[in-house]
Amino acid sequence: MKIDLTDTTASKINKALVKGRRAIGTPAVGMVLTLVIVTDEEHAYDAIKAAGDASREHPSRTLVVIKRHARSPRDRHATRLDAEVRLGSDAGAGETVLLRLHGELADRADSVVLPLLLPDAPVVVWWPVDAPPVPARDPLGSLAQRRITDTYAVEEPLRELAARAEGYEPGDTDLAWTRLTPWRSMLAAALDQARTEVLSAVVESEAENPSAELLARWFCARLGVPVEQVVTAGPVVTAVRLRTADGEIHIDRPEGPVARLSIPGQPNRVLALKVRSTAELIAEELRRLDPDEAYAAALHTEIIAPPQESRADGG
């Protein structure tokens, strides 16, 4: 079911939600959180689809905030709220409200979102692109227990990562970090099996990849070893090598959904390690709403560079 509302208010949207639920016989009590997506028209479709897929695991009320900035000075001061309410099969396992904010209302999105939050339920805010410098101090971000950004979706990921570190507050997270969960799990399991001291690490990835940068920082934070970063054709992270006293632990995934794991003294193994969809990443983030201390530690750790090799110069 879809209900279009033009030049409306938050009160009328709430009434439309109640009316729509009654019409299709769907209660709101099964929803576990409110997911607020702050995006533009260009990225709205993909974000809504990802949230809809994730809602099958986490039934939620999804509020999509789309700020429509007018070009002419006259329209810039014409404040208007248009909404589209989606319920039932059109909204995954929850309900979705598209909020298009025109004029000066675009700068006061929190005043529209606040009356639409589910009572006594956690709030998560996700910026698929163009996150604010300090998400926790953003008017919408301040409403949330969890704030999700994605440094992989910007033009200068490493500069954006530095901004995330500078403005970090507990509850912040980044999909560039979420993409590393399978890598970190496999590497931790490999180290448990090998039970040897790690001397240094190598991370191979495409250039300017924020996930590779966070993985290198994680090694420095957890292992305290120098990390070398090697640029490859990608996609994303393609290989990790941990140099130990007993040999090299190596996970290699040049392309496709599988990787090869090599541990000294053990036969090579094939592992499932696909590049996950945005819906899978969002679903993982919605499973936990407490501060991610591992992400915070990696974000604030400087990479330890490997020592420069000495070279004979005849002098």
**Is the pTM value of this prediction over 0.85?**
yes
Instruction: Judge contact between 90 and 98, C-beta under 8 A.
Output: no
Name the phi and psi angles at 175, rounded to 5: -65, -20
Neighbours of 7 (CB within 10 A): 11
The residue whose two tokens read 């530095």 is 162
**From the CB of residue 24, how many other CB atoms can be counted at a distance below 10 Å?**
11
In a 3-state reduction of DSSP, which class is residue 174? strand
pLDDT in tens, the chain (315 residues): 899 999 999 999 999 998 888 887 776 657 889 999 999 999 999 999 999 999 888 889 999 999 887 666 666 567 899 999 998 777 677 899 999 999 889 889 999 999 999 988 999 999 999 999 999 999 999 999 999 999 999 999 999 999 999 999 999 999 999 999 999 999 999 999 888 899 999 999 999 999 999 999 999 999 999 999 999 987 889 999 999 989 999 999 987 889 999 999 899 999 999 999 999 999 999 998 899 999 999 999 999 988 875 334 443
